């Protein structure tokens, strides 16, 4: 079998093609002496008639492993079909954790109870579940693996094979914190933020927070320089906070452009002296800038973030494509930092104490470090504000460079640093308080076949035996520990899983991404409304260039706009910050520009 140019297909890809063909009822004889394009077209035609998870498994295998051989028309059609199937699998009427079915007006609002998508059918008593500490020690704790010579060579070296950088998951924290903010003081388990990508970490959820971030005195719709509302971001990898600072700058750039262009002719510069007119103009520009900035954020989510997690930079772009799992960042035992390396010293210093800390200690400690003072004056990562209230471009850029260079770690068994023990225990305990579904119940909701044994879940005997001893029955395996340690190719345990194996978290991620992005997509279906609210310039500003140097990526636009001296146009750091420069240097699909060749070195920084 050969491709369009007559090149022989690698044996592993040929085996996959024959395996997929058998699943759709084609015999080997039907594939002999045919070109790859002809075979793939037949596979696509057969696959497209299937439904549900069987279609997804085959489609994702095609997109994941054969994308460089697939004709463009097949890729586009298969991408679109995957989205349609995922959308059709979503529940129509989610209930909240109290059993209440929210009205259309209530769905997505702040301070509403979390929804429950998966019905819980199992009747496992909490007293019959294993101790969370035992779960962590037996198959989550990386420190335990570190002491076992058999695995010492692989500890913290299980990096994401697709070349993802830790900046991917710094941005991922913005995504998560945009739609989740648990009110721990609420009996109904409310979510204090909205369920939409409205950049709440930047602007805030409460009117008082929004007022404090805004520089209303100028009447130009501006934010105070380099500030953000969500205090949670101060305790995350510094790169996450830096990204929010850049989105702050992007908002102010947008606001200035809106006033300068004044498309409707209703604003004035200088702003009105009359207090009412002054406030009205400030509000109008601010809200319009928020909308446009939010669309920039969504574009980054769709292209750079989701596309990066799916492994598409290595395959020439596209979505959803290579649907890999969301991996956590690993803290190394030497110089493998999380974000920009800030946690390395913490991991060392806490090793002798962390086993003695419990969730209650963690909660008490968290309350003592809440920041005080005005939002516009807050700092993070040891940075200092300049007299104009901004952070130095040099300092922000250094943090982003470091996060781009650090490879992301693999979410796997025995891969969680000891310093994260309390967070892990809190997650397990909270899931039990909420009566969250089991792993197999989640798979059933995704229309995946249930796992039949612990070995089916993870083929590594050390992991499967530990879970079996703790839970006894695979149907009792809890969702969070189950997703965390599910066996995957490349998890450093030396086990190989079939290419067509359906990964629970991968499919869950796809479903979640579609669900979160779709409301914005619905808005974009009515461009007249958007143009009216966002202005013609705003629509052009957020428009995606599908043929740019990043395969249609978008984050480069924010980097070049907000840190122009430190992110050159030919730098791999500018166009692919969510992949490591090392991985991108080995990428054979980067678009070439002879007049401006790629620079894979860290940019020479401007001292600004």
Question: Mean pLDDT by 10-residue block, N- to C-terminus, for the chain (608 residues)?
Answer: 51 67 64 62 68 64 63 65 60 46 51 64 80 83 49 43 83 81 58 67 86 96 96 87 97 97 95 96 94 88 78 58 28 27 24 45 52 85 95 96 89 78 83 85 79 92 92 92 83 69 64 54 42 80 83 92 96 95 86 83 80
> From CA 346, how far away is CA 341, in angstroms rounded?
10
Question: Measured between alpha carbons, how far is 85 from 445 in angstroms, rounded to an integer?
Answer: 14
Q: Is 258 left (phi over 0), alpha (psi -120 to 50) or beta?
A: alpha
The b-or-e profile of 413-431 (16+ CB within 10 A means b, else e) is bbbbbbbbbbebbbbbeeb
What is the DSSP secondary-structure string of 412-447?
Answer: -TT-B-GGGHHHHHHHHHHHHHTTPPBHHHHHHHTT
**How far apart are the C-alpha atoms of 167 and 575, rounded to whole Å?**
13
Token look-up 């980054």 returns: 300
Which residues does 522 contact at the CB level (< 8 Å), separation at least 6? none
| Res 417: pLDDT | 76
Whole-number Å distance between alpha carbons of 401 and 280: 40
Tell me the pTM: 0.75
How high is the pLDDT of residue 515? 57
Those residues whose C-beta lies under 8 Å from the C-beta of residue 360, and which sit 6 or more positions away, are: none
Closest CA to 591 of 551, 544, 552, 559: 551
Work out whether strand 190-191 and strand 115-116 pair parallel, antiparallel, or are unpaired: unpaired
């Amino acid at each position: 079998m050969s491709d369009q140019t007559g090149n022989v297909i690698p044996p592993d890809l040929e085996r996959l093609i024959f395996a997929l063909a058998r699943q759709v009822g084609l015999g080997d004889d039907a594939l002999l002496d045919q070109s790859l394009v002809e075979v793939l077209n037949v596979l696509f035609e057969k696959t497209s008639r299937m439904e549900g998870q069987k279609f997804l498994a085959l489609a994702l295998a095609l997109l994941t492993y054969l994308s460089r051989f697939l004709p463009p028309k097949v890729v586009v059609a298969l991408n679109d079909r995957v989205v349609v199937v995922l959308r059709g699998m979503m529940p129509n009427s989610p209930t909240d954790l109290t059993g209440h079915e929210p009205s259309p007006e209530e769905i997505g609002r702040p301070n509403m109870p979390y929804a429950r998508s998966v019905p819980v059918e199992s009747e496992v008593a909490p007293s019959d579940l294993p101790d969370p500490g035992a779960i962590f020690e037996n198959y989550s704790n990386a420190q335990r693996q570190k002491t076992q010579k058999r695995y010492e060579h692989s500890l913290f070296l299980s990096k994401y094979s697709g070349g993802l950088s830790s900046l991917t998951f710094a941005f991922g924290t913005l995504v998560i914190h945009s739609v989740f903010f648990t009110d721990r003081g609420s009996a109904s388990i409310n979510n204090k933020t909205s369920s939409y990508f409205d950049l709440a970490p930047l602007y805030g959820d409460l009117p008082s927070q929004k007022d404090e971030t805004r520089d209303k005195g100028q009447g130009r719709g501006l934010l105070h320089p380099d500030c953000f509302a969500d205090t949670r971001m101060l305790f995350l990898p510094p790169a996450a906070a830096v990204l929010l600072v850049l989105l702050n700058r992007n908002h102010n750039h947008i606001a200035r452009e809106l006033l300068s262009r004044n498309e409707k002719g209703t604003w004035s510069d200088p702003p009105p002296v009359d207090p009412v007119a002054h406030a009205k103009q400030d509000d109008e520009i601010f809200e319009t800038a928020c909308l446009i900035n939010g669309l920039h954020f969504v574009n980054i989510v769709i292209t750079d973030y989701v596309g990066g997690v799916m492994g598409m930079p290595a395959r020439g772009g596209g979505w959803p494509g290579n649907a890999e799992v969301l991996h956590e960042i690993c803290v190394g035992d030497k110089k493998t930092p999380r974000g920009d390396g800030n946690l390395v010293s913490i991991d060392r210093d806490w090793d002798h104490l962390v086993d003695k800390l419990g969730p209650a200690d963690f909660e008490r400690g968290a309350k003592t470090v809440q920041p005080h003072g005005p939002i516009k004056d807050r700092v993070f990562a040891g940075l200092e504000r300049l007299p104009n209230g901004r952070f130095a471009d040099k300092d922000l850029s250094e943090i982003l460079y470091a996060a781009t260079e650090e490879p992301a770690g693999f979410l796997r068994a025995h891969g969680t640093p000891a310093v994260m023990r309390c967070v892990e225990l809190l997650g397990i305990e909270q899931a039990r308080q909420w009566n969250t579904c089991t792993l197999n119940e989640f798979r059933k909701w995704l229309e995946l076949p249930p796992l039949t044994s612990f070995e089916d879940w993870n083929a590594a005997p050390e992991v499967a035996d530990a879970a079996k001893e703790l839970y006894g029955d695979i149907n009792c395996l809890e969702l969070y520990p189950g997703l965390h340690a599910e066996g995957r190719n490349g998890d450093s345990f030396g086990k190989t899983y079939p290419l067509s194996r359906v990964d629970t978290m991968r499919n869950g991620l796809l479903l979640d991404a579609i669900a979160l992005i779709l409301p914005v997509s619905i808005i974009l279906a009515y461009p007249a409304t958007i143009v009216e609210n966002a202005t013609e310039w705003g629509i052009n500003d957020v428009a995606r260039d599908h043929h740019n140097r990043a395969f249609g990526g978008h984050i480069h636009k924010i980097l070049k706009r907000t840190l122009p001296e430190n992110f050159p146009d030919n730098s791999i750091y500018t166009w692919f910050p969510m992949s490591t420069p090392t991985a991108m240097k080995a990428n054979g699909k980067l678009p070439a520009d002879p007049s401006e060749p790629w620079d894979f070195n860290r940019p020479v920084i401007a001292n600004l």
